[in-house]
Chains A and B, each alone.
Chain A
Amino acid sequence: MHPLRIERLVYRWPGAARNTLEIGALSLASGESLFLFGPSGCGKSTLLSAIAGVVEVPKGAIRVADQDVGAVHGGARDRFRVDHIGMIFQVFNLIPWLSATENVLLPCTYSRHRRVRAGDNPEGTARRLLSELDLSDPSLASKPANELSVGQQQRVAAARALIGKPDLILADEPTSALDEAAKAAFVDLLTRECAEAGTALLFVSHDRSLERQFDRSVDFRDLNRSAA
């Protein structure tokens, strides 16, 4: 089973003059972490949207957990996404008025699959994940998310992406709002947790200082022929 396998993906934004993505092949094994780097605006986020099934992709081009993303439609795609993919964004990852723990548990409310895999006690799992991500203080876990620092918010987002052991985590520049020390610590925690859970990690960034912490790194410009 491949958490992610891309073959001959061509994507063009509706109305765009030329293709945004032209990717020959890209695949990830379970537990593998991939660092994908490239300058802003080269299509990295579009690739993540395509994998997450937010944009319409041709059939057969993208498989997540051996399922063709292009063949799933509408609400089923939203459910498919939460079942198999955890996502971490650059900033503003959390519902501001929910507590850290409640934010972590969100995928379990929308996905039975994730809930089942989160164990008998999802809340306990959420707390364990938070404490492994250095958020063990109970007062932090019950605080509304908007009272947490940016670094803390990103770690809560990581815990949310990890809960219920999805096959794949897509991280879209999650460290861009963090300082140098926090960046390294965050990536360290994230890669370690992913490896433990057997979750593949696709980490997109323009900051190559993080490159060494991943199993593999790829220059997006080499991968995407349309960008050349």
Chain B
Amino acid sequence: MLGFSLRSLWNRRFVASLTVLAISLSVALILGVERLRDGARDSFANSASGIDLIVAPRGNSVQILMATVFGVGSTGTGMTWESFEWLEDRPEVAWAIPIQMGDNHRGYPVIGTDGSYFEHFRHSGGQPLSLAAGAFFTGDGADAAVVGAEVAARFGYAPGDVIVNAHGSGEVSFDVHDDAPFTISGVLAPTGAAVDRMVFVTLEGFDIIHAQADAPLSDPLDPAAMPADDHDGHDAHGDHEVTEAGHGHEPDQINAVYVGLIDRTNVLGLQRAVNERPSDALSAVLPAVALAELWGIAGTAERAMRLMAWAVALAGMIGMVVMLSATLDTRRREFAILRSVGATPTRIFALIVTEAAVLTAAGLILGLILLTVATFVTDPILSARFGMRLGFDVFGARELGTLFVIFCAGLLASLIPAIRVYRMTLADGLSVRL
């Protein structure tokens, strides 16, 4: 029966292959949309772990999250160092990491911070950052830089290399700080999170490049561009041992603070305290809440994409029904011959359903191949641009479920022509007249 169906389909291979192509595209699209969504969610969820609160100049919580954790966009105007110290001294705060932003290294975001970042930052469900080579910010001064795994891999960086950053966050930059180079002290091990795409420099180094800029930078949207003219601590950076307690260099303004609490249940209290602090207009963002908010925004687009994917699947199914139905009239003779040699109407019914099953199964397989190829091609791009990975993992239960649903839909759709054939063969009998 299967062999016979295959031969019959082979006889109509052009139309059959178009049908298979239509189904496979819909399969690839449906699974692709799901994977993209999962990949995005995973990479976002993995990128920030263990941070209880992100404090930044007052602004939209999603924007703050995107800017600080993912290096996409920027926060509002800078917050003062006093506010950072106030936060750090709060009794419920276990640790606080200062963050400066606004520069890029060949398109990758540059983060100014201190050694506590590497100590407290967690990704992918609680894993600490580790080094693939070199060291974190060591005592060797303000020009130390730690690069993420992907940055290092893309440009072939190793500890000891000298890099130059540029102002702004775009990939094309005219304002290159080539007078303030950094020396790479360490390369991070791959994390699969946003840190892979980041370059970390010391707070002091971050300030130097802006202090040395001749003219005040006039980008009002970019807090890091604020001329930092009060750098009285610079001449003493020989003893800048970075420890958690003392932040060596104290910049005037920073862009955000990652906060870890001793007891997480105090998070709402601290959030309120931050929001009500009169001297500085600040926002305290709960990463999980901001993420949920982000998904709320993205949800509409996701639903639209999913709807599209299923619409394509529906079109593929209709195409198959059209193909099977359109050939029925020319195949009447064929069915009559089959009946004359002993095929029952039920067998002929089964023949049509088998053909549909073969088409759908071929569509599923081709769809998976298409998806794998597409993943293979786009994964490096997505991971470079957005730090997200689609992954080539074996299909999860949900994907298998989706495939099963499509397969059943194919069989169900084939009942339309199959029932017609059943009736037709009963009515036609063995007459071969047309």
Determine if A93 is an interface residue (Cβ-Cβ < 8 Å).
Answer: yes
Known: A78-B339, A95-B337, A107-B341. A55 touches B7 (CB 8 A): no
**One of A79-87, A116-124, A129-137 contacting the partner:** A79-87
B11 and A54 contacting across the interface, CB-CB below 8 Å = no
Q: Tell me which of A78, A81, A92, A109 contacts B432 (CB under 8 A).
A: A92
Determine if B220 is an interface residue (Cβ-Cβ < 8 Å).
Answer: no
B429 and A107 contacting across the interface, CB-CB below 8 Å = no
Using a CB–CB cutoff of 8 Å, the interface residues on chain A facing chain B are 45, 49, 52, 54-55, 74-75, 78-79, 81-83, 87, 89-98, 106-107, 109-111, 114, 160
Interface membership of chain B positions 417-433, coded 1 if the CB is closer than 8 angstroms to chain A and 0 otherwise: 00000000000011110
Q: Tell me which of B340, B345, B347 contacts A89 (CB under 8 A).
A: B340
Q: Tell me which of A49, A83, A97, A98 contacts B429 (CB under 8 A).
A: A49
Q: B339 — which chain A residues lie within 8 A by C-beta?
A: 78
Question: How many whole Å from B86's CB to the nearest CB in chain A?
Answer: 83
Cβ < 8 Å to A, chain B residues 327-344: 333-334, 337-344
Q: Which residue of chain B has the shortest Cβ distance to A146 in the bound complex? A: B11
Q: A87 — which chain B residues lie within 8 A by C-beta?
A: 340-341, 430
Determine if B402 is an interface residue (Cβ-Cβ < 8 Å).
Answer: no
Known: A54-B429, A91-B432, A92-B432. A98 touches B7 (CB 8 A): yes
Determine if B243 is an interface residue (Cβ-Cβ < 8 Å).
Answer: no
A106–B1 Cα gap in the complex (Å)?
A: 12
A74–B10 Cα gap in the complex (Å)?
A: 31
Known: A78-B343, A79-B344. A95 touches B430 (CB 8 A): no
A110 and B343 contacting across the interface, CB-CB below 8 Å = yes
Q: B430 — which chain A residues lie within 8 A by C-beta?
A: 49, 52, 54, 87, 89
Determine if B60 is an interface residue (Cβ-Cβ < 8 Å).
Answer: no
Cβ < 8 Å to A, chain B residues 1-24: 4, 7-8, 10-11
Interface membership of chain B positions 335-379, coded 1 if the CB is closer than 8 angstroms to chain A and 0 otherwise: 001111111111100000000000000000000000000000000
A81 and B337 contacting across the interface, CB-CB below 8 Å = no
- In the complex, the number of residue pairs spanning A and B with C-beta atoms less than 8 Å apart equals 62
Q: Which 3 A-B residue pairings sit nearest by Cβ, starting from the closest?
A: A82-B342, A110-B342, A97-B11
Q: Which residue of chain A has the shortest Cβ distance to B339 in the bound complex? A: A78
What are some 12 contacts across the A-B interface (CB < 8 A)? A49-B431, A54-B430, A55-B429, A79-B344, A91-B432, A93-B337, A94-B337, A97-B8, A98-B7, A106-B338, A110-B341, A110-B347
B333 and A92 contacting across the interface, CB-CB below 8 Å = yes
Q: A109 — which chain B residues lie within 8 A by C-beta?
A: 4
Question: How many whole Å from B246's CB to the nearest CB in chain A?
Answer: 84
A123–B298 Cα gap in the complex (Å)?
A: 64
B10 and A97 contacting across the interface, CB-CB below 8 Å = yes
A78–B338 Cα gap in the complex (Å)?
A: 10
Q: Which residue of chain A has the shortest Cβ distance to B3 in the bound complex? A: A109
Q: A96 — which chain B residues lie within 8 A by C-beta?
A: 11, 334
Interface residues on B, range: 20 to 34
Taking A49-B429, A97-B11, A110-B347 as known contacts, 16 extra A-B pairs with beta carbons closer than 8 A to each other, sorted by chain A number, are A52-B430, A74-B344, A75-B345, A75-B346, A78-B339, A78-B345, A79-B344, A81-B340, A81-B342, A87-B340, A87-B430, A95-B337, A106-B338, A107-B341, A110-B341, A160-B341
Question: How many whole Å from B352's CB to the nearest CB in chain A?
Answer: 15
Question: How many whole Å from B331's CB to the nearest CB in chain A?
Answer: 10
Q: B340 — which chain A residues lie within 8 A by C-beta?
A: 52, 81, 87, 89
A111–B343 Cα gap in the complex (Å)?
A: 9
Question: How many whole Å from A192's CB to the nearest CB in chain B?
Answer: 23
Question: How many whole Å from A128's CB to the nearest CB in chain B?
Answer: 19
Cβ < 8 Å to A, chain B residues 397-434: 429-432
B338 and A95 contacting across the interface, CB-CB below 8 Å = yes
A98–B337 Cα gap in the complex (Å)?
A: 12
Question: How many whole Å from A102's CB to the nearest CB in chain B?
Answer: 8
B342 and A79 contacting across the interface, CB-CB below 8 Å = yes
A106 and B334 contacting across the interface, CB-CB below 8 Å = no
B432 and A95 contacting across the interface, CB-CB below 8 Å = no
Q: Tell me which of B4, B342, B346 contacts A111 (CB under 8 A).
A: B342
A97 and B344 contacting across the interface, CB-CB below 8 Å = no
Q: A160 — which chain B residues lie within 8 A by C-beta?
A: 341
A90 and B432 contacting across the interface, CB-CB below 8 Å = yes
Q: A92 — which chain B residues lie within 8 A by C-beta?
A: 333, 337, 432
Q: B334 — which chain A residues lie within 8 A by C-beta?
A: 95-96
Residue among B334, B337, B346, B347 with the highest chain A CB neighbour number at 10 A: B337
Interface membership of chain B positions 282-298, coded 1 if the CB is closer than 8 angstroms to chain A and 0 otherwise: 00000000000000000
Q: A79 — which chain B residues lie within 8 A by C-beta?
A: 342, 344
A81–B430 Cα gap in the complex (Å)?
A: 11
Q: Which residue of chain B has the shortest Cβ distance to A87 in the bound complex? A: B340
Question: How many whole Å from B421's CB to the nearest CB in chain A?
Answer: 15
Question: How many whole Å from A159's CB to the nearest CB in chain B?
Answer: 12
B341 and A106 contacting across the interface, CB-CB below 8 Å = yes
Q: B431 — which chain A residues lie within 8 A by C-beta?
A: 45, 49
Q: Which residue of chain B has the shortest Cβ distance to A99 in the bound complex? A: B7
A45–B430 Cα gap in the complex (Å)?
A: 10
Q: B342 — which chain A residues lie within 8 A by C-beta?
A: 78-79, 81-83, 107, 110-111, 114
Q: A107 — which chain B residues lie within 8 A by C-beta?
A: 341-342
Q: B337 — which chain A residues lie within 8 A by C-beta?
A: 92-95, 106
Question: How many whole Å from A171's CB to the nearest CB in chain B?
Answer: 12
